[in-house]
Structure 1
């Protein structure tokens, strides 16, 4: 049985399926193709079935970054969708626009708020991309170029043409795109610590929630991750902020690789977790900070530099700190 992508999708089955790639998916990476088609399946599982060879492209094994073409046949092994996603098959994403930082006929750059997932799946019924498509029914093509954690705010790129998607994702893969974040971390960051080059490994907790940890350089499951850090300011805590007796540091963090939770895990591994991080942070401190106004993780996708996919002009976009983060930063800074 062959299924043409874009038609009605059959329910999950214990049997493998043969899926034929449609024109609208021509040139897409295999991992992104699968993530979109296997709604509700955790990304960690998608990458696992690719690595294990259970996914076949034209009867052969393929890597996650392989480009699929219209007419290719992809074998999908039997998978189970996330329970919550399978329980809400009829839920429709509400139409929503987001603040626009840049837009032309090729791409859209928006300012994503914290607390909003970029796409549906893994227990989330819908995200930014589904809401944008709902708000723009006339748009023939809208696809995420990259991703941000749900808890992270800031610049998010969306392609409006297949050619733009391919060229922008190529820039990410070839490390030709500059992604810089602002992070407020616990303690005083050493001025000489500028590069973190430590492999990361994704794993699942007993309840199925995804986590990432630093592993040894020779770990076969480790993926190389490189993070550049530049301290902007060391902020001694005011007496009113309990728990921050060692102060905190505002960092500019540029990632040279795009691993899951990379910044959060890398800085936490150095003994300086991001304030408000509910996965890798200081949980007791986070509760104290919430009472002082910080009710989210202090991580913001601040600057993005890339070459325009059509004109090749170098573009630099910036997103100011959201009001709630700026207010907290002003609160902990000592009076001038």
Structure 2
């Protein structure tokens, strides 16, 4: 059979494209077919690491090829969740208490409810802006930006004040964080984690901080602040709070590809 490459599969490696769409074939069968010329691009043999180009003609024989269709976004999506939308992208304003993906404590997450692929994630108790892609090409592009730390993410955080800071102060926490079975800990065995914190407000012994991420480790803000005596209000994992308490942590700002998304 013949397949013409569309925009969703541009820059995908040939072997990965076949692995996704030839689910009844082993990788050894796929590699063998590529080497023996049962798979050709524009009538020519290519190596398995060839990256597909728009409108490449892929000839496939000797493999059970069935094109896996892209997800169709649910028509029942709550419009209040959509912060921004265009032909390729969705910025979702995630409420507190809803997980991004299904897991042990929930049968469905936002990804399953909306039928979209998220490029990044927020913890179940964290609210705010999160990026979803409408197609695989956009998903790959956003994932690459995240991997290269080219997406600016800012959070608003509320903690009980430790009386060390005043409004207008700024400080940077840079340490190493390690994932263990139960939680993330500060450890020399971990990965470098860096965040800048700006003091926005102090009222009734509650300090409001802006957190600007330089790295994106799991639970980074939560662990760093708890480690300096500023555990986030409602954090039952790294602070003295109950599981049902609301976590005062929100991603309010995203910036990438020349676009700014900000909750006022």
Both structures adopt the same fold (TM-score exceeding 0.5): yes
2:181 is the counterpart of 1:223 = no
Q: CA-to-partner distance for each residue in 1:192-237, whole Å, 9 max, x for gaps?
A: 5511111111112xxxxx3111113xx2xx11111110110122x2
Which protein has the bigger strand share? 2
- Relative to the length of structure 2, the TM-score reads 0.68
Residues in 2 aligned to 1:261 and 1:158: alpha-carbon distance in whole angstroms: 20
| Aligned twin of 1:22 | 20
Q: Distance in 1 between matches of 2:209 and 2:19?
A: 43
Residue in structure 1 matched with residue 119 of structure 2 by the alignment: 145
Question: Which is further off, 251-260 or 183-192?
Answer: 183-192
Q: Give the structure with higher Rg (CA).
A: 2
Picking from 317, 321, 324, the partner of 2:261 is: 317
Matches within 5 A, 1:129-278: 129-133=111-115, 142-187=116-161, 188-190=163-165, 194-204=171-181, 210-216=182-188, 219=189, 222-235=190-203, 237=204, 247-278=205-236
TM-score by structure 1 length? 0.54
The 5-angstrom pairing of residues 41-80 of structure 1 reads: none
Choose which of 302, 313, 316 in structure 1 pairs with 2:252. Answer: 302
Mapped contact 1:225–1:256 kept (Cα < 8 A): yes
Q: 2:87 aligns with which of 105, 117, 120?
A: 105
Q: Does the Cα contact within 8 Å between 2:170 and 2:199 map onto a contact in 1? A: no
Q: Is the 8 A contact 2:154 2:253 kept in 1?
A: yes
Stretches of structure 1 lacking an aligned partner (at least 5 in a row):
1-19, 25-57, 59-66, 71-92, 134-141, 205-209, 238-246, 308-313, 321-336
Cα RMSD of the aligned pairs, angstroms, is 2.8
Can you list the C-alpha shifts for 1:283-319, whole angstroms capped at 9, x where unaligned?
3xx69xx9xxxx4010011111111xxxxxx111122
Query: CA separation in 2, counterparts of 1:269 and 1:316?
Result: 31
Distance in 2, Cα, partners of 1:214 & 1:273 = 14
**Matches of 1:302 and 1:189 in 2, distance apart?**
25
Q: Is the alpha carbon distance of 1:234 and 1:129 closer, same or farther for their aligned partners in structure 2, counting shifts above 3 Å? A: same
Are the aligned partners of 2:119 and 2:131 in contact in 1 as well (CA < 8 Å)?
yes
Q: Does the aligned pair in 2 maintain the 1:189–1:249 contact within 8 Å?
A: no
Q: CA deviation at 1:96?
A: 4.4
Q: In structure 2, what is the Cα distance between the partners aligned to 1:189 and 1:112? A: 32
106, 110, 123: which one aligns with 1:124: 106
